């Protein structure tokens, strides 16, 4: 498998080596030893699935630190436009985004580190996404950012108004989340004695 760091530090695109034959195709979707070899410390603790109609927009979601939650995201049916946004105050990429197209056929996945927001637009009906996550669900720790925040101006490129939950539609903008102190802050450089 190919593991490539994306423009958001600590975020990776994982592309499996597929072995096709006349029966179909086989590939390894995730290997913790390969992730570790790329500098990714990831231990799965929970697996979630989400099934969505075409033009459904979910996100941007993250988890406060602590407890934090890294995600290994894969489209297992259909196709998705996947977007990650760096929500870590003090990161050189704070507020920047990265777009990936994930399809069941490609088997590609995105590794989303703690403190980075994640969202997606379903490009097909009955699209299914699998989240392998590093921590179990802890009520009250979710961080939601409005995926239609005009300052973020994320390229969802939806040909019609997206289907979006009330929670996501009413989520704060990035600026509002910063002002409310909702986002993680990276430690600054250590002072020299």
Residues designated as active site: 61, 131
Query: Shortest CA distance to 84 belongs to which of 104, 67, 106, 102?
Result: 102
Distance CA 3, CA 24 (A): 24
């Amino acid at each position: 498998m190919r593991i490539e760091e994306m423009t958001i530090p600590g975020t990776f695109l994982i592309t499996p080596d597929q072995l096709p034959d006349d029966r179909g195709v086989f590939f390894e979707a995730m290997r913790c030893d390969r992730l570790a070899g790329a500098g990714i410390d990831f231990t799965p603790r929970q697996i979630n699935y989400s099934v969505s109609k075409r033009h459904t927009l979910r996100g941007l979601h993250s988890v406060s630190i602590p407890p934090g939650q890294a995600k290994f995201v894969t489209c297992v049916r259909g196709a998705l436009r996947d977007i990650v946004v760096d929500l870590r105050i003090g990161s050189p990429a704070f507020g920047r985004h990265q777009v990936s197209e994930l399809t069941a056929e490609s088997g590609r996945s995105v590794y989303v580190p703690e403190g980075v927001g994640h969202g997606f637009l379903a490009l097909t009906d009955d699209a299914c996404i699998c989240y392998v996550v590093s921590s179990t669900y802890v009520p009250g720790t979710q961080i939601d950012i409005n995926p239609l925040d005009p300052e973020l101006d994320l390229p969802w490129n939806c040909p019609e108004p997206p289907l979006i939950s009330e929670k996501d539609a009413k989520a704060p903008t990035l600026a509002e989340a910063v002002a409310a102190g909702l986002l993680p802050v990276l430690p600054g450089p250590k002072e020299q004695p």
